[in-house]
Amino acid sequence: MSNRLVASVAIATAIMSGLLLTGCASEAAPTHSPAPHPTVRSVSPTPTPTPSAPSAIGTSATATSAQVAVYGSPNGSVIENLANPQPSGAPLTFLVASSQGAWLQVDLAQRPNGSTGWIQADSVALHSLVYSLQASTEQNTLTLLKNGEPVKTYSAATGTGGTPTPHGSFYITELLEPTNGGYGPFAFGLSAFSDVLSSFGGGPGQIGLHGTDDAGSIGHAASHGCIRLANPDITELAGLLPLGTPITIS
C-alpha cells in the first residue's frame, strides 16, 4: 500500500468520520472505546481515470478541491457543501449513479440510505472501477467480483435479527486502520447506516466492513449491523479495493 497516505487523528475526528461503526461489537460483547489516536489509512484511487459516463461496473468520483457543492438537481439549488478530505483524512469520494452533460448524479454517504445528489463534473476526478462486492445476510458471505464475475467468496458475520445489516446498494467511503480492539487490522467505512440504531458508541451508526478479534463470530449473525471478515481476508481486500467500490447487501 505504498501509494496510500497514513495520517493520525484525534478521537473527536475519528468519531466524526464514523470510526465507531454500528456493528463492531458482538451482541453480547461490551462496546469497545476507541484509542486516543486511531490511525487512518487514506486510499488513493488506483483505476485509470475515465472522462466519460459510468462504466458497467461503476465509476468513482474523487474531489479535487477543498469543498464540493451538492445540488438538488442540475443547475438547481445547493443543498449542502461537503469538505474534502473527510474528517478521517480520506479523500471525499462518491459513487457515480448517472451523468447529464456537465453534471453527475452521485450516491451520498448519509441518511436516509439511498440518498443521492448532483455535483459538477469538473469538481472531481473520475476513476473506472473493476471490483465490486456482494454481501448476503442470509448466507453470511461476502463475494468479491471483478468485471462482474465472482472471484472469491468469504465467510462473514452480519447483523442480528434485532440489529440487522441494512440491505441495498452502497459503496466504500474510507479505509481505516483502527488501533482500538475489536475491529481487526482494517475497517472500511460504507455509505450505509443502520436502520435501527441512530448512534452507536458515539458514532452515527455507520455500517462498516472490518476485521474482528472474535474469529468465532464469522459465519454467523453476530454484529450490530456491520459486516465482519476474518483478519487475513479484510487485509487482502484492504490492499485491493479503492474508495468508491460498490457493495450490494441482500
In degrees and rounded to multiples of 5, residue 122 shows phi and psi of -80, 5
Where in the chain is CATH 2.30.30.40? 47-128
Chain position carrying cell 443502520 = 194
Is residue 226 part of the annotated active site? The answer reads yes
- Kindly give, in sequence order, each residue whose CB lies less than 8 Å from that of residue 155, ignoring residues fewer than 6 positions away: 140, 141, 218, 219, 229, 230
In tens, the pLDDT along 215-238 reads 999 999 999 999 999 999 999 999
Give the DSSP per-residue string, 68-137: EEEESSTTS-EEEEEESS-TTSPPPEEEEEEEETTEEEEE-SSTTTT-EEEEEGGGEEEEE--EEEEEET
For domain 47-128, the CATH class is mainly beta
Is residue 210 part of the annotated active site? The answer reads yes
pLDDT along the chain (250 residues), means of 10: 31 37 45 33 44 68 98 98 96 98 98 97 97 98 97 98 97 93 94 86 86 96 96 98 98
Where in the chain is CATH 2.40.440.10? 5-41+130-249
Fold entry, domain 5-41+130-249: L,D-transpeptidase catalytic domain-like (2.40.440)
- What's the CA gap between 71 and 91, in Å, rounded? 20
In tens, the pLDDT along 10-51 reads 223 333 334 445 545 444 333 332 322 234 444 443 444 444
Q: Which of 24, 127, 210, 224 is catalytic?
A: 210
Distances 197 to 95, 131, 170, 180 between C-alpha atoms, Å? 24, 29, 18, 21
What pLDDT does residue 204 have? Answer: 86
Give the DSSP per-residue string, 230-250: -HHHHHHHHTTPPTT-EEEE-
pTM: 0.83
Q: Which of 24, 127, 224, 226 is catalytic?
A: 226
